[in-house]
Amino acid sequence: MGGALAAPFDGSAWRRYADRFLQPDGRIVDSGNKGVSHSEGQGYGMLLAVAAGDRAAFDRLWGWTQRTLMVRGDGLAAWRWMPDGGVTDRNNASDGDMLIAWALLRAAESWGDGAYRSAATAIVRALAAAVLVEQAGLTVLLPGRDGFRKGEALVLNPSYWVFPAIRAFAALPDGQRWGRLAESGLVLLSKARFGGFQLPPDWLALDADGAVTVADGFKKQYGYDAVRVPLYLAWDGYRDPYYFRPYAMLAARYGGAAIPATVSLPGGTTTQVAASVGMLAVYRLASALAGAGNAVTVPPLAPDEDYYSTTLAHLSALAAQSLGIEP
């Protein structure tokens, strides 16, 4: 089944995104989540601003992030800010910190400003100290500094492995642990294949002996988090169909349309909620890399498309462009 292509990411797409989600003070609004702002959104906004060549917007985004979220005292960002309460959770979200640092590295390269690189390396050092840990012979990433050790097990989120960011961090001085993190991420993804589609869970547990299970205390599902796994693998240049077949199989099961947003694991029960446009863009990319062709139709973004779906659509376009394939 063919169909409409996802729109490429360009200056006009960025302007529409900024008009909808970027506030004048430099914060990105999560329109699907009570107008909250968070470190993830700031990182995504900064990456898109760099890709669009909009340095003024980038500086507003980075400025708000520094003033408002970098308040922990350890070099990492508080993950959640709410309009009616300010910072309401000071724990960090490791993927948000990674996205911010990677965006700063890309800004340093794009605009030749060493201050961005210095800021990025400081965040990378803080991340390594706070959330890179060893378990069962693997170097893994805690989702946040606090709250993810459950006895001898660690609770991990596969979608926090932002592979292209990890590659960039591994290239920095003393970046060897980041290289090991990437290798361990691939090991975890080979173990974390559950249900008939062999999908990773949004949240997994890694025991001291290396066993991987779907984590307790969270929804036992593949869904809104783990859909980013093939996106980040693609953006880092992985092309082996092995990494993308589970998502292509899920898409093919539903004929490339009305793909469910979540799948329970390991049971395989699907939700009646359909995948968003942004999720469909990820499935289209994964299907192409799995050798399934352009089997997913991606409709245009609706005028009221929410922040997360719109962001996934744009990131999928950037990943496709980096690979030289149609978005």
Question: What is 11-323's CATH number?
Answer: 1.50.10.10
For residues 208-228, give the mean pLDDT.
Answer: 97
Structure confidence at residue 272 (pLDDT)? 83
Has 25 been annotated as catalytic?
Answer: no
Picking from 165, 52, 50, the residue whose alpha carbon sits closest to that of residue 113 is 50
Query: Could you tell me what percent of the chain has a pLDDT over 90?
Result: 90
Query: In the chain, where are the structural domains located?
Result: 11-323
Give pLDDT tens digits for 277-295: 999 999 999 999 999 876 7
- Cβ neighbours, 10 Å, residue 31: 17
pLDDT at residue 2, as a whole number: 41
Is residue 63 within 8 Å of residue 127, measured between CB atoms? no
**Structure confidence at residue 327 (pLDDT):** 62
Q: What DSSP state is assigned to residue 200?
A: P
What six digits make up the tokens of 157?
């989120």
Task: Name residues whose C-beta falls within 8 Å of residue 113's C-beta, 6 or more positions apart in sequence.
Answer: 107
Q: What angle do CA 132, 135, 141 make, to 5 degrees?
A: 30
Cα gap 62→327, rounded to integer Å: 28
Q: What residues pair up with 134 in beta bridges, in sequence order?
A: 139
Kindly name the residue from 30, 95, 97, 225 that is annotated as catalytic. Answer: 95
pLDDT band of 156, cuts 50, 70, 90: very high
Please, which residues have CB within 8 angstroms of residue 13's CB and are 6 or more apart in sequence?
7, 52, 314, 317
pLDDT tens for residues 235-274? 999 999 999 999 999 999 988 678 999 999 998 888 889 9
Nearest to 222 by CA among 195, 249, 244, 188: 195
Q: Are 20 and 31 in contact (CB under 8 A)?
A: yes
Task: Give the span between the Cα atoms of 47 and 18, in whole angstroms.
Answer: 12
